[in-house]
């Protein structure tokens, strides 16, 4: 007999901000530490998490470079277990390994205006549909709704599955989430998921 999931107001949700990439499209700079309106991108993400309509109980940062700079922000900093910049799934894995709560919200550091109801909408969908993973989807510039795979809530009990998937060489988020009950949660505002990948993206934003 399955236990009933906790009510939303009783949810204990951890979150990890992905800032562990190589910044290859930003000329190798550490993207999370780049300034936007006088504040680092990673702190924009943290503040969006702190302002969520469903409270996030714990926030950490996944980073692989300039660790002391990230630690100075006052949050736990978790580097990848792998040493080869294995991509976003490595951040998922370290988040699930260390998250002190049963549910984990994943967000990237380079999308400073993601929805303030992101956590609430994802958790509601995960619970109501009995899913393992709830993933955001949003319209792109061409009007086509596409998955936003680095915006998701997942059960930390999936850690062993992901560890095995990566040990076998898996790196694609969609290939791993396809192994589990994953639901898509549509959001209407395409600008909310506009990410900053290149120096030109920063210029276009303002």
Q: Where are the domains of the chain?
A: 11-205
pLDDT of residue 143: 80
Domain 11-205 has what CATH class?
alpha beta
Confidence tier at 6 by pLDDT (50, 70, 90): low
Summary mean pLDDT of the chain: 89
pLDDT of residue 20: 86
Residue 93's H or E segment, with its range, is: helix 88-98
Sequence-distant (≥ 6) Cβ neighbours of residue 35 within 8 angstroms: 41
Which whole number is the average pLDDT over 79-104? 91
pTM score, whole prediction: 0.91
pLDDT at 206 over 50: no
What is the C-alpha separation between 103 and 123, in angstroms, rounded? Answer: 9
Bridge partners of residue 105, in order along the sequence: 15, 153
164-174 burial by CB neighbour count: b if 16+ within 10 A, else e? ebbeeebeebe
pLDDT (tens digit, 9 = 90+) per residue, 10-39?
678 999 999 987 655 545 789 999 999 999
Of 139, 73, 144, the C-alpha closest to 109 is 73
* Lowest-pLDDT range of 43-47, 153-157, 191-195: 191-195
pLDDT at 84 over 50: yes
What is the C-alpha separation between 197 and 110, in angstroms, rounded? Answer: 7
Of 115, 114, 110, 91, the C-alpha closest to 41 is 110
């Amino acid at each position: 007999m399955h236990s009933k999931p906790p009510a939303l107001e009783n949810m204990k949700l951890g979150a990890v901000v992905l800032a562990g990439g190589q910044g290859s499209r930003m000329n190798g700079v550490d993207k999370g530490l780049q300034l936007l309106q006088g504040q680092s991108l990673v702190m924009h993400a943290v503040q969006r998490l702190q302002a969520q309509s469903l409270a996030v109980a714990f926030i950490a940062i996944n980073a692989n470079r300039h660790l002391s700079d990230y630690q100075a922000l006052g949050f736990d900093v978790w580097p990848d277990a792998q040493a080869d910049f294995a991509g976003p799934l490595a951040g998922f894995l370290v988040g699930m390994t260390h998250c002190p709560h049963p549910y984990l919200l994943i967000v990237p550091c380079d999308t400073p205006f993601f929805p303030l109801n992101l956590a609430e909408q994802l958790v509601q969908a995960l619970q109501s549909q009995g899913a393992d993973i709830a993933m955001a989807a949003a319209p792109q510039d061409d009007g086509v709704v596409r998955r936003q795979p680095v915006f998701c809530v997942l059960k930390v009990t999936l850690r062993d599955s992901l560890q095995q998937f990566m040990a076998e060489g898996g790196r694609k988020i969609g290939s791993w989430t396809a192994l589990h009950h994953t639901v898509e949660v549509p959001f209407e505002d395409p600008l909310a998921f506009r990410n900053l990948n290149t120096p030109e993206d920063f210029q276009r934003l303002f």
